[in-house]
Structure 1
């Protein structure tokens, strides 16, 4: 962005999910300016000021009115998204928002529509797409090297202890919109759909195991039919102690790609093999934030660059509606015990 003004971002919400954002923003010094941070508990904002040197905003109104803020990173719980996104979009601030877009597909559509109406960018934080192995797999699929996709398998065997769900609102419909699907598996499901194309229908089982006392599901399994003609399966849980690395397997006519965390292994039908990517924490165990900030850094930089150049976010709010539709269909199928079609995203 040499010769262009540096984009200026404010951070709204300083809970657990903000840890990699703040580290990434510190690494982006000289490329992105942090105009300030805001948290409804002032002490958290002051602690961030002490650690990173970022200024503190006194209110959301102050951010909305600040001519030196081009965009905001919203990392609040999902039940606060509508209020904040509405105010910031009306003020002309571009928005980069933690997943999910909102607690329901209907509410997510509302946020996407209001941002499009205000002509502000809406990007969603699905950092798994920025891992080295995922980027390489995207290249192979775009080049047609895996051939025709036939079978997809997504496995998310993560762990959260009861203390995680004892935090007020965690895993509830009112605050989070659901359990393992919308809070954890959504990352892998988004990555899956970005590689496979849209799903058409699902048949699911959702449940709460005896290992957790919580309102919503900590286990989900589903068979999926994709628009391409491929079929697949998803198993997601936060009840597998001590937590294992998530895995996405794509079986094509020319080879099979196995993405384990950020590490990709490809077995070609002609006998060749390929491996690349990083072996790192994924947040699937007791510490949900046990992963590097590199993926967030690249995602934030691309979003910030787009504020200056007009380039849209890599993962837009409208694109994120696909994974919301899949989760919505899985939840409805789990309740009805019937195969359920996804709602039309057009």
Structure 2
């Protein structure tokens, strides 16, 4: 809601939809307007141009398909689906209908990431030689005690699909792709959950297959900023949280 308000006159909230009575009451108390439970009525309204889908991943294929079938553009919370075929289904449906569909992977639009992307695309950095990515985040057990969270049936996976996906999206964008060579995924001693909360991987990055590592977890108390270190021929670039540092070989 705060983000929509920031858009000023560029976007207007027409409806909020939820099946939960508690969430409807809380929304009305906070924002002064009552949500509806009737998604079909909302999708039938020609004044609605686009829908932001904020439901759990296991509902994305069905609800996303209904939204696109109604002729509405779709912004969908990550991950777009439980499995790759869910994402392909939505992408294909949008393409046939001439609609826009996108996942909420906003980190690549950070000013620091855009600045680094500009440096890399200019060729100033030279070729990519190596990569190290560390995502040392923390989630308490209470986070995973919510029904369905951290399960394959509702979320499709653990730290890689529901948390690290943001940083990995940036990493793929900056490096020109990631190919995993070997990986170790576990549920650590710090959590009781079905899916993984800790992953270590060996990978190659970009068209020159630069070697590197990825480590992602939600078991690192008290939560630390993610870091990406990109080693190029003529510079090393380090992104940490919202900041970026560029170390040129010539000073």
Q: Is the 8 A contact 1:26 1:52 kept in 2?
A: no
Match of 1:9 in 2: none
Unmatched tracts of structure 1, length 5 or more: 1-21, 272-346
1-structure distance, mates of 2:48, 2:212: 44
Matched, 1:258 2:238: yes
Match of 2:73 in 1: 94
SS at match of 1:36: coil
- CA positional deviation for 1:29: 2.6
Q: Is the 8 A contact 1:100 1:183 kept in 2?
A: yes
- Greater Cα shift, 84-93 or 221-230: 221-230
Q: Is the 8 A contact 1:204 1:221 kept in 2?
A: yes
Matches within 5 A, 1:121-200: 121-200=100-179
State the number of aligned residues.
Answer: 250
Off by >3 Å, runs of 4+ in structure 1: none
Question: In the alignment, which of 18, 21, 25 is matched to residue 42 of structure 1?
Answer: 21
Matched, 1:219 2:198: yes
Q: Is the 8 A contact 1:35 1:54 kept in 2?
A: no
Q: Is the 8 A contact 1:34 1:54 kept in 2?
A: no
Matches within 5 A, 1:315-334: none
Question: In the alignment, which of 213, 230, 250 is matched to residue 233 of structure 1?
Answer: 213
Unmatched tracts of structure 2, length 5 or more: none
**TM-score, length basis structure 1:** 0.70
**TM-score, length basis structure 2:** 0.95
1:261-296, Cα deviation, whole Å (9 max, x unpaired): 11011110001xxxxxxxxxxxxxxxxxxxxxxxxx
- CA positional deviation for 1:54: 4.7
1:89-142, Cα deviation, whole Å (9 max, x unpaired): 001000001110101112222222222222210011111112121111111111
RMSD of aligned Cα (Å): 1.3
Match of 1:64 in 2: 43
- CA positional deviation for 1:52: 2.8
